[in-house]
């Protein structure tokens, strides 16, 4: 084959490739909607449509099981919530719970991940042990904690009695201790889950970076953590921070089983308030207003975290 023939064949093949690529690019706008339709359909059906429906219901006086007409009441439900002392206490309790659970879960799960990562052959065993609370049923877990914290026959009461304290300590019925107690239980339940996420991030850090740092003289574990592990865990840490905040706002089961919002609403949080309004008092309009406020707060917190924390995250190892 002559040089001219070979050049012509190569040009023809390049033309075929360009034609194929051009056809693919032209038809991509048609293929994409069909490939994405299952995800888009689920997103619309289970999130976007219910979200707008909840917002719409919040402007009505709909009562669950009521026989009368549903009337548009504007911002009456929101105004009533604004003047409700119980709702303001619920918001305060939710924020206090978040302030206790988020940092405790974050740093404890990070510490456990580092410890498990350094435990060598026993890493799988410790990972399984710390992850067990995540697999337990939340209701069953709450019942067990109810027995542990019983003021007379509970495990905590027995320990305090052996330590010389003879008075009853009812942590779930004391306004000063009920929120910290629920926060402790939540941290215990969620830490194993976030530990696994941190372990995944630690595995992604190349060992070559640590070897190079040791060659340069960085031998102390704290130095390696401060200059290598912590910066490269930025994306994982940011994801855990957002997820911890969301999960803390979603706490409901332990409040429903252990305290029912008591004593005197000192452990009532937003989701329990929404449940009470909708399924105890049958005020679905007010419950929808609480749900809409809850969604707005979650979107605001996520935006703030992305705005002021996410921009400082280093993605990649280059």
Question: How high is the pLDDT of residue 163?
Answer: 81
Question: How high is the pLDDT of residue 140?
Answer: 83
The model's pLDDT over 137-190, given as tens digits with 9 standing for 90+, comes to: 877 888 889 888 888 888 888 887 788 776 777 888 889 899 999 999 999 999
The pLDDT-based confidence of 27 (bands split at 50, 70, 90) is low
Question: How high is the pLDDT of residue 316?
Answer: 55
Predicted model pTM: 0.82
In angstroms, rounded to a whole number, what is the distance separating the alpha carbons of residues 305 and 140? 33
Q: Are 252 and 271 in contact (CB under 8 A)?
A: yes
Return the CATH class of domain 76-312: mainly alpha
Question: How high is the pLDDT of residue 244?
Answer: 92
The domain segmentation of the chain, as residue ranges, is 76-312
Residue written as tokens 């070897």?
Answer: 211
60 phi, psi to nearest 5 deg: -125, 175
- Higher confidence at residue 193 or residue 170? 193
The model's pLDDT over 44-61, given as tens digits with 9 standing for 90+, comes to: 999 899 999 999 999 999
Name the region of 74 (left: φ>0; alpha: ψ -120 to 50; beta: rest): left
The pLDDT-based confidence of 3 (bands split at 50, 70, 90) is very low
In angstroms, rounded to a whole number, what is the distance separating the alpha carbons of residues 236 and 233? 5
């Amino acid at each position: 084959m002559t040089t001219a023939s070979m050049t012509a064949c190569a040009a023809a093949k390049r033309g075929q490739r360009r034609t194929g690529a051009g056809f693919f690019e032209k038809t991509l706008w048609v293929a994409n909607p069909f490939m994405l339709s299952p995800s888009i359909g689920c997103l619309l059906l289970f999130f976007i449509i219910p979200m707008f429906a909840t917002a719409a219901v919040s402007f009505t006086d709909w009562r669950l099981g009521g026989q009368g007409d549903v009337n548009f009441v504007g911002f009456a439900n929101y105004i009533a919530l604004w003047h409700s002392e119980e709702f303001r206490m619920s918001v305060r309790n939710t924020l206090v719970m978040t302030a206790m659970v988020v940092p405790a879960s974050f740093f404890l799960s990070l510490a456990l991940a580092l410890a498990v990562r350094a435990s060598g052959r026993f890493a799988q065993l410790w990972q399984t042990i710390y992850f067990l609370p995540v697999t337990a049923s939340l209701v069953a877990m709450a019942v067990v904690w109810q027995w542990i914290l019983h003021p007379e026959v509970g495990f905590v009461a027995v320990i305090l009695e052996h330590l010389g304290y003879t008075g009853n300590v009812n942590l779930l019925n004391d306004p000063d201790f009920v929120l910290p107690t629920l926060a402790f239980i939540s941290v215990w339940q969620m830490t194993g889950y976030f530990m696994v996420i941190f372990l995944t991030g630690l595995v992604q850090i190349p060992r070559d970076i640590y070897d190079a740092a040791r060659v340069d003289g960085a031998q102390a574990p704290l130095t390696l953590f401060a200059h290598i592990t912590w910066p490269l865990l930025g994306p994982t840490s940011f994801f855990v921070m957002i997820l911890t905040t969301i999960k803390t706002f979603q706490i409901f089961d332990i409040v429903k089983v252990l305290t029912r919002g008591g004593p005197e609403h000192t452990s009532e949080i937003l989701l329990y308030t929404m449940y009470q309004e909708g399924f105890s008092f049958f005020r679905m309009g007010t419950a929808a207003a609480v749900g809409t406020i809850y969604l707005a707060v979650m979107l605001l917190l996520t935006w703030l975290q992305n705005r002021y924390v996410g921009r400082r995250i280093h993605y990649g190892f280059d």
